[in-house]
Amino acid sequence: MDRVPSDTNSHQTRRYRRKFFLLAAVPLLLAMAALATLVTFQSRSTAEREIAALEAQLLEAKKDELRNYISIARTAIGARYGIAAPDDEDAKREVMQTLAAMIYGQDGYFFVFDYDGTNLVAPRQTQLINENWIGLEDAEGTPITSEFIRIARSGGGYHSHLWWKPTTGEQAEMVTFVIGLQDWRWALGTGIFIDDIRANVAAARAGVEERVRNTFLYIGAITAAALLLVFVSGLWINIRDRSVADAALKRLTQRVIDTQEEERGRVARELHDGISQILVSARYALDLTKRRITKGDGRAGESLAKGVDSLNTAIQEVRRISRDLRPGTLDDLGLGPALQTLTDEFTDRTGITAELETVVFRNRLDDDAKTALFRIAQEALTNIERHSNASQVKVRVFGHKSGATLRISDNGAGFQPDDARGGLGLRNMEERIEQLDGTLRILSSSSGTSIEAQVPLSHLLPPNTRSKESA
């Protein structure tokens, strides 16, 4: 028994695993990556909007608080400032003392600059008093004193800048509210450090990043679990398909054995029914010739001629059987001449008209493709002879940009392809064309049957390859 090679089986298994991974794992990974990106984008967008809204609310609360402080200061100095003349130095001194005493919290106080830039009140930073700070800027280059004076001249407003924190001596971000005492040409203001707001915002952003990281971990865990499920499912399918493939392999092996036995039986019948009887007839003729020669009978030449004719018939029969097993025309001249010989013999044997049409395409089929197409044609003609009751058969071979095609059609009674696939002949056709990665199409109706076998371009030799046939 011929051993069925396992290379094709293992190659198909590896290819199936790659396809399974591409069809299952890769889309899953892409979907999970897209989901993680979308969740991250949505989470950060939502969090940024919420953080921005929170920051705005906190800043607005700080500004309201500053307005309240300035209102308190205005009330505290209103009685004295409201009745004082622009050059009332005593009133100015009393107001400065009142404002210097109004400190609040750890870092809060009121300050006063005149419109020339000289500091008049700074209870928590006395080193600034009586010094001119008109060009003062913070570490980022933001003007401070000149901006205070501009805001005071315009009536009042807010200014954000860096300022030295009294408790630490380091610069921190501050929001200042300034109003103008126009009669005295003073800029009165107070400020609140907002580093606590920035800390809260930074903490909120850190919380968002922590949630995003946790989300990524959850999605990664889900992806790993899904991939594990895909792997387990693929393993289970592989085991199941391996058992199915083993069963199919056993059936294929049995079919190979059946085919071999059928072919051996056919050859044995032909040898016994044909050549054996012819050789027996030749032996009797030669024996008769021998006896006649011994007796001097003049008919010895006649019996010898019959023996020679029988031997010639035996030789022709041996050639026919050999040609059926492996036609020499296929190897020597190519597919077209081999099919021509096959159809001619089919017509002589059955009386069914068989027409062969070949397109001049410089047939460059490799040996496997030529053998497969010839055997498919041989099997198809055998089925037509046995089952179709056809009177006409057309065989066409042609090449095209996708490969080469063999089409065999008849005008017989037809059959149901699905019902006939259990037959050995159609199974042999399918298996031969599958080995070439080609396609086999069968169309059948009450008006006839058409079988079309197509081999791909990969089984055509390069144009510069020498071919045994031109059509």
State yes or no: pLDDT of 418 exceeds 50.
Answer: yes
Cα–Cα distance between 405 and 401 in angstroms, integer?
Answer: 11
State yes or no: pLDDT of 201 exceeds 50.
Answer: yes
Q: Which fold has domain 104-193?
A: Beta-Lactamase (3.30.450)
CATH 3.30.450.20 in the chain: give the residue spans. 104-193
- The tokens describing 221, both together, are 């865990």
Q: Tally the C-alpha atoms within 13 A of residue 431's C-alpha that lie toward its C-beta.
A: 19
Q: Which residue has the higher pLDDT, 449 or 275?
A: 449
CATH 3.30.565.10 in the chain: give the residue spans. 328-459
- pLDDT, tens digit, for every residue of 6-62? 444 555 556 666 666 666 677 777 777 887 788 778 877 887 888 888 888 888 998
3-state SS, residue 168: coil
Q: How far is CA 125 from CA 92, 132, 152, 258, in A?
A: 20, 14, 21, 110
Q: Position 231: which residue type? A: F
Quick one: what percent of the chain has pLDDT higher than 70? 84
pLDDT of residue 130: 93
- pLDDT, tens digit, for every residue of 291-350? 888 888 778 788 788 878 878 887 877 766 666 666 666 767 777 888 888 888 889 888
Phi and psi angles of residue 239, each rounded to the nearest 5 degrees, phi first:
-65, -45
DSSP 460: B
pLDDT of residue 470: 41
Do residues 148 and 114 lie in contact, with contact meaning Cβ atoms separated by under 8 Å?
Answer: no
Name the residue among 465, 26, 67, 455 with its Cα closest to residue 234: 26
Stretch 126-137: mean pLDDT = 93
- The tokens describing 374, both together, are 């010839």
- pLDDT, tens digit, for every residue of 233-282? 777 877 887 788 788 777 767 776 776 677 677 667 766 666 777 787 77
- The tokens describing 41, both together, are 């984008």
DSSP 23: I
Stretch 351-370: mean pLDDT = 76
Do residues 201 and 51 lie in contact, with contact meaning Cβ atoms separated by under 8 Å?
Answer: yes
Distance in Å from the first CA to the final CA of the chain:
37
Q: How many helices (H) and strands (E) does the chain have?
A: 12, 10
Question: With respect to CATH, is domain 328-459 assigned 3.40.50.2020?
Answer: no
User: Going by C-beta distance under 8 Å and a sequence separation of 6 or more, which residues neighbour residue 355?
Assistant: 343, 392, 393, 394, 395
Work out whether strand 110-114 and strand 156-164 pair parallel, antiparallel, or are unpaired.
Answer: unpaired
Stretch 440-456: mean pLDDT = 87
- pLDDT, tens digit, for every residue of 209-244? 888 788 878 888 888 887 778 777 777 877 887 788
Burial of 387 (0-12, 13-18, 19+ CB in 10 A): middle
